[in-house]
Chain A
Amino acid sequence: QQPVQSPQAVILREGEDAVINCSSSKALYSVHWYRQKHGEAPVFLMILLKGGEQKGHEKISASFNEKKQQSSLYLTASQLSYSGTYFCGTEPQSGNNRLAFGKGNQVVVIP
């Protein structure tokens, strides 16, 4: 039931764009995205809810395809600070806030 994240790693230059993906085999209520820097706690980026509502705190966009149970996170005009490991957490349709996290997408932004 762990979601599958792809690609495993991305290297991009400052200013370039990237898309990272999260796919689940289960019907979902919400998808959460977090970014983790080495040795630190995961930090919230975005929540996408069934029905299209989005909640986010940063200028990062994402989409949630409810039919396919897939979510994509769009890193646009990447900055050095975008480097880190991105985790998606999926919440099943029961909405019990019990998140299953993927193994992460490692993103490295170079000057």
Chain B
Amino acid sequence: EAQVTQNPRYLITVTGKKLTVTCSQNMNHEYMSWYRQDPGLGLRQIYYSMNVEVTDKGDVPEGYKVSRKEKRNFPLILESPSPNQTSLYFCASSLGSGDTQYFGPGTRLTVL
């Protein structure tokens, strides 16, 4: 089944404790993105990647890191999480420009 998977689905952590949210797709897609969703603000892009080893900042990259060492994986790293990073995070992938973005199930992160 073609899908985007994220882990963990739920995470409660404390300020400053490094964490990684994994994202994997099995559709051989070139493009991958990370979004955060906050009430009333819609989906805001954090980082995106157009191919292996090619990543770039989105609209809200501060406090986040990503890597794209393999085509299928695009982990999101929070080196020192803070409470304002409490949010619902979505990973998405697509074949290319003008193509459907497929979203993962989401990761609800709470930073205390």
Contact = CB atoms under 8 A, between A and B. Distances in A.
A and B physically associate: yes
A22 B78 CA distance: 33
Nearest to B94: A97
B97 interface: yes
B101 A29 contact: no
Given A30-B98, A91-B98, A95-B98, A42 B103 contact: yes
B34 interface: no
A103 interface: yes
A104 B50 CA distance: 26
Contacts of A44: 100-102
Interface of A: 1-2, 29-30, 32, 34, 40-44, 47, 49, 55, 87, 89, 91, 95-104
Interface of B: 31, 33, 35, 40-45, 48, 50, 58-59, 90, 94, 96-106
25 contacts: A29-B97, A30-B97, A30-B98, A32-B101, A34-B101, A40-B105, A41-B105, A44-B101, A44-B102, A49-B98, A55-B100, A87-B43, A89-B43, A89-B101, A91-B98, A97-B31, A97-B48, A97-B50, A97-B97, A99-B45, A100-B59, A101-B35, A103-B40, A103-B41, A104-B42
